[in-house]
Amino acid sequence: MLSRVAESIYWMSRYVERAENVARFIDVNLQLMLDSSSSQLEQQWKPLVSTTGDHEDFEKRYGEATQPNVIRFLTFDAENANSILSCLRAARENARTVREIISSEMWLQLNKFFLMAASAADNGAYLDSQIDLFAEVKNASHLFKGITDATMTHGEAWHFCRLGRMLERADKTSRILDVKYYIILRSTSDVGTAFDDIQWAAVLRSASAFEMYRKRFGRISPKGVVEFLLLDRDFPRAIHFGLLCARDSLHAISGTPLGTFRYAPEKLLGQLCSDLSYAGVDEIISYGLHEYVDELQSKMNQAGSGIHETFFAFKTPGGARKPTQVQTQ
């Protein structure tokens, strides 16, 4: 398929996933606020901006990290490239350039999704029904993914879709884990209290992981949460799960057998998956969760740029990859 098309599909899917994750972040914070009258939670809005990595822009334009400011910034601010609205706009623009490749049903759902967010932004309804809106965003994103899986041939384009989605999801789960872990453990006085429990439950909920965690571990503990969100191979929002899917799709696209590599991103993702397969949660925590996640993120970023260079941006015919024979396993 055309490189430009592959790139658009990849980003379409990443942006939808990003919009969903931003909605998850905000939603869980709002839920926390409702659960507590404690002033400790006042500080909970600032880290949210850090999670998406846009705190400089935020401080410059908004200053104080109050609830309305943060929600506006992350939900409908057209100048913030990572707001829900901006992500959906970008996803839709990408989809528009590949309408002939994706199924009509996918386009219809994404277009409705964007129109829903745009009309919420226009009429300011979100002020009254914020939680509804974030639930709707999550649902619309799930619907988009379901439609994608059900109506699109699981060929090259679909694999680019999944590759983008899973890299984005792994990245966002790692960020929320990093930020929350840091904040929660900082307030040591709360460790082991009921409040601590609520906080960790909220982290799990933001990844729709609460119920599945319960089934697996029962009691809530920081270590359990880290193990579940980072290392679980079967839970669909866990980082390990996401990277395994991304790796599989990457190999399906390139035709390189699993366990071997021809291109840089194959090597990186392969190494990451092995790391996560053989890592123990105690080692990670004694190494420092923040440091571990930091390195993980940097490798995921490298994988992202590797994908860009391998499939989207090769320039002159002379320096191009020659068409290769597709290998099967």
Partner 1 sequence: MRFEDYEVGAFFDEIFDEAHKPRALARSLVKNIVGLPAGELRNRQKAAERALLQMGITFNVYGERAGTEKIFPFDLVPRIVAATEWARIEKGLKQRIKALNLFIDDLYHDQRILKDKVLPREIILSSKAFRNQCAGFDPPHGIWCHVTGTDLIRHSDGHIYVLEDNLRCPSGVSYVLENRQIMKSLFPQVFAECRIRPVSGYTSRLRDMLEYLAPETVPVPRVVLLTPGIYNSAYFEHSFLAQQMGIELVEGRDLIVDDSVVVMRTTKGFERVDVIYRRMDDDFLDPKSFRADSMLGVPGLMEVYKAGRVALANAPGSGVADDKVVYAYVPRIVKYYLGEDIILPNVPTYICAEEKDLAYVLEHLPELVVKAANESGGYGMLIGPHSTKDEQDEFAARIKADPRNYIAQPTLSLSRVPTIVDDHFEGRHVDLRPYILYGKEIFVLPGGLTRVALKKGSLVVNSSQGGGSKDTWVLAESELPETESVPGTSASRSVAPLAVS
The whole-angstrom separation of Cα 137 and Cα 143 is 10
- 324 phi, psi to nearest 5 deg: -110, 155
The stretch among 68-76, 134-142, 297-305, 313-321 that binds partner 1 (CB under 8 A) is 313-321
The minimum distance between CB 242 and partner 1, in angstroms, equals: 22
| Site of tokens 């996401």 | 242
Cα–Cα distances in Å, from 114 out to 59, 73, 79, 94? 27, 17, 16, 12
CB closer to partner 1, 225 vs 253: 253
The minimum distance between CB 307 and partner 1, in angstroms, equals: 10
Per CB under 8 A, 127 contacts partner 1 = no
CB closer to partner 1, 7 vs 227: 7
| Amino acid residing at 208 | S
Site size for partner 1 (CB under 8 A):
29
The whole-angstrom separation of Cα 44 and Cα 243 is 29
Nearest to 170 by CA among 21, 24, 283: 21
Q: Which of 35, 54, 57, 93 binds partner 1 (CB under 8 A)?
A: 93
Q: Which of 34, 78, 115, 131 binds partner 1 (CB under 8 A)?
A: 115
Count Cβ atoms below 10 Å from residue 32 Cβ, excluding itself: 19
The stretch among 15-23, 103-111, 178-186, 277-285 that binds partner 1 (CB under 8 A) is 103-111
Cα–Cα distances in Å, from 237 out to 63, 109, 132, 164? 32, 22, 22, 14
The minimum distance between CB 78 and partner 1, in angstroms, equals: 12
Residues 185-224 touching partner 1, rule: CB under 8 A, are none
CB closer to partner 1, 6 vs 49: 6
Per CB under 8 A, 266 contacts partner 1 = no
Per CB under 8 A, 158 contacts partner 1 = no
The whole-angstrom separation of Cα 250 and Cα 312 is 13
Per CB under 8 A, 317 contacts partner 1 = yes
Per CB under 8 A, 151 contacts partner 1 = no
Per CB under 8 A, 4 contacts partner 1 = yes
Per CB under 8 A, 305 contacts partner 1 = no
Q: Which of 253, 284, 296, 300 binds partner 1 (CB under 8 A)?
A: 253
Per CB under 8 A, 262 contacts partner 1 = no
Per CB under 8 A, 281 contacts partner 1 = no
Per CB under 8 A, 111 contacts partner 1 = yes
Q: Residue 179 is inside which H or E element, if any? A: helix 156-186
Per CB under 8 A, 119 contacts partner 1 = no
The minimum distance between CB 270 and partner 1, in angstroms, equals: 19
Exposure on the CB side of residue 91, measured as CA atoms within 13 A: 33
Q: CB pairs under 8 A, 24+ apart, for 40-45?
A: 40/187, 40/195, 43/183, 44/183, 45/69, 45/70
The whole-angstrom separation of Cα 160 and Cα 74 is 27
Q: Could you tell me the two tokens for 212?
A: 């599945």
Q: Give me the residues that bind partner 1 (CB under 8 A), please.
A: 1-6, 93, 96-97, 99-101, 104, 107-108, 111-112, 115, 156, 253, 311-312, 314, 317, 320-324
